[in-house]
């Protein structure tokens, strides 16, 4: 994908911060709909949950995108994160409405020398981070065994849920999602990882079937929007 030639490091930092802020707000708005609070106004609950969501976004979204960038650079490509104004607005609006269409931006890569294997590895680097965050948060939950009403339990629960859902969504075999490139590179690896992620979603997140169908619909919409734009 062709990058804007004047895209500086300052532009990239700005775009990452904008995307992280939008996603944090959107996820916080979504979480306060489904998290049981003892008391407090919507604003108080939003501010209460905001730090936990912000930490999750840093670990599961920002590092995900930076891993794409660093691995791409390792293979000699030029790469930078680029925010999507449409995606930023849609994330916040849909989060407020009770569901989430989150495509606040992506790591844009410019190269004419990637092999299918290199492209697959660069694409896999992001979901692997989500998988690692999931395992880390889940392990801490069992090791520390925090009280169900504690802020630590809330934070780890959000991390587990968001990280595995992001891993699943990004591994869908729909262009330009990461899964489409991993599938083109290594089919056995792709289906093995997708199967593991799907099992984790079902047993640890208890995500209903309609949510999986919704993610598929969002992925197809995202793919159509991307093709129309590029």
35 Rama class: left (phi>0) / alpha (psi -120 to 50) / beta: beta
Residue 82: strand, helix, or coil: strand
DSSP state for residue 78 in the 8-state scheme:
E
Tell me the catalytic residues: 65
DSSP state for residue 2 in the 8-state scheme:
P
| Continuous segment of H or E residues that includes residue 95 | helix 85-97
d(CA 202, CA 146): 23
**DSSP-assigned states of every residue in 110-146:** E-S---HHHHHHHHHHHHHHHHHHHHHHHHHHHHH--
d(CA 122, CA 58): 19
Cβ-Cβ contacts under 8 Å for 147 (sequence gap 6 or more): 153
């Amino acid at each position: 994908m062709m990058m804007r030639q004047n895209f500086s490091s300052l532009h990239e930092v700005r775009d990452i911060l904008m995307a992280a802020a939008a996603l944090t707000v959107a996820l916080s708005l979504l979480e306060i709909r489904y998290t049981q609070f003892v008391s407090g106004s919507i604003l108080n609950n939003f501010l209460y949950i905001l730090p936990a969501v912000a930490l999750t976004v840093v670990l599961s979204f920002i590092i995900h995108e930076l891993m794409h960038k660093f691995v791409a650079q390792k293979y000699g490509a030029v790469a930078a994160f680029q925010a999507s104004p449409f995606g930023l607005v849609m994330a916040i609006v849909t989060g407020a409405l009770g569901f989430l269409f989150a495509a606040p931006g992506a790591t844009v890569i410019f190269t004419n020398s990637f092999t299918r294997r290199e492209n697959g590895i660069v694409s896999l680097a992001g979901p692997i981070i989500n998988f690692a965050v999931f395992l880390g948060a889940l392990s801490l939950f069992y090791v520390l065994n925090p009280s169900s009403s504690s802020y630590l339990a809330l934070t780890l629960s959000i991390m587990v849920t968001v990280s595995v859902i992001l891993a699943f969504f990004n591994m869908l075999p729909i262009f330009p999602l990461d899964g489409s490139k991993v599938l083109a590179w290594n089919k056995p690896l792709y289906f093995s990882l997708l199967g593991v992620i799907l099992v984790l979603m079902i047993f640890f997140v208890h995500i209903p079937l309609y949510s999986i169908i919704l993610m598929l619909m969002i992925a197809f919409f995202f793919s159509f929007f991307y093709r129309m734009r590029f």
